[in-house]
Amino acid sequence: MASNLLSSRQPILDKIVFFCAVIQTGSFRLASEQQGISAAAGSRWVKELEETMSVELIKRSTRQLVATQAGQLLYERFSPLLPDINSLCEEVQNLAEQQQGEIRISSTPLFARQYLTKIVAEYMQLHPQVHFKIFIEAGSFDPLKVDFAFRASASYQGELQNDSLLVRKRLLREPLYLCASGAYLTEHGTPTNPDELSMHRCLYARTLVGGNRWCFERDGEMAMVTIRDTLECDNSEMLLDLAMENAGVAYLPHSLVSQQLASGELQHIMQDYQCASFDIDLFFRPRTPMPERCSGFKQYLYQRVAELQQ
């Protein structure tokens, strides 16, 4: 039976993979988005799969879909094979002399604009058969759904790092500046120490640079301040715009505010305190072997980030 099905002209393996995605997500729409086909095509695939196997796999209603006994058996037996099938395909691809396939990336907006856009464009020129899916986002990510993730954080002496099974590589480190517009400081006064920040409107990103816990150091003494929830936004470029519109005090990396500080659009405050550092880290799963397209891109990324910082 299995031999006849596999030797048929129907793309049965593709249909089984899509069927497993439907059961996993509980939705034809979500499964279609995940697999990159239309919902209509996906629905037709499952129906054709049922016709090929001569058995109902999914009971459908207007509110939900449920696997039949046969469908549950197919899902339980086939879905554990998917990672091995994917790994096998990657190993076969690695035998090709030319890099090919898809690289999936999750990146914060600032790193994407300052570095990633240029690096990816260059890499696509060098390797035309490599293509990318890039998700611009902050916060948590699913390491099983992306090959690389770039995340921003604040670091300071004595900080505790979270345990992780992912490889973490520091790409960038630059100072953070506490800054505000002259108009805001004229109206609300200029803070001279960390405690006075509690009396100011502060602009922060919870997933970036320490969130609402800002760190300062002077004369070897550390001060950690939990600022009040005035405005939260997980896009540092928007925080810059808000600071320039007199919305409050921002805590931003040097590369983002250097021009505004030089022009006087923003003022650097509490300069006698040393702030935390703004870090960009690369995260990826340890894979042996890593697909050649990913390994090659990783090495090119390290090289170009170092060059672009000079």
Domains and CATH numbers, the chain: 12-92 (1.10.10.10), 101-294 (3.40.190.290)
The predicted model gives 294-304 an average pLDDT of 95
Q: Is residue 158 over pLDDT 50?
A: no
The predicted model gives 273-281 an average pLDDT of 85
Look at the pTM and tell me if it is higher than 0.85. no
Q: Where are the beta strands (DSSP E) in 156-305?
A: 167-180, 202-204, 213-218, 221-226, 231-232, 249-253, 267-268, 274-275, 277-284
Q: Is residue 288 over pLDDT 90?
A: no
What is the per-residue pLDDT across 166-212, written as a single tens digit (0 to 9) for each? 899 999 988 889 999 999 999 999 999 988 988 898 887 765 555 67
Contacts of 84 (CB under 8 A, 6+ apart): none
Confidence (pLDDT) at 274: 83
Confidence (pLDDT) at 57: 92
The predicted model gives 74-85 an average pLDDT of 87
Confidence (pLDDT) at 284: 93
What is the per-residue pLDDT across 215-245, written as a single tens digit (0 to 9) for each? 888 888 888 888 776 677 777 888 899 999 9
Confidence (pLDDT) at 206: 66
Cα–Cα distance for residue pair 142/121, rounded to 1 Å? 24
Confidence (pLDDT) at 5: 62
Assess contact for 293 and 105: CB atoms under 8 A.
Answer: no
Place of tokens 């490889």: 167
Backbone angles phi, psi at 62, to 5 degrees: -70, -20
Assess contact for 267 and 273: CB atoms under 8 A.
Answer: no
What is the per-residue pLDDT across 88-134, written as a single tens digit (0 to 9) for each? 777 676 655 567 889 999 998 889 999 999 999 999 999 999 999 99
Confidence (pLDDT) at 2: 47
What is the per-residue pLDDT across 3-43, written as a single tens digit (0 to 9) for each? 556 555 567 888 888 899 899 888 888 888 888 888 888 88
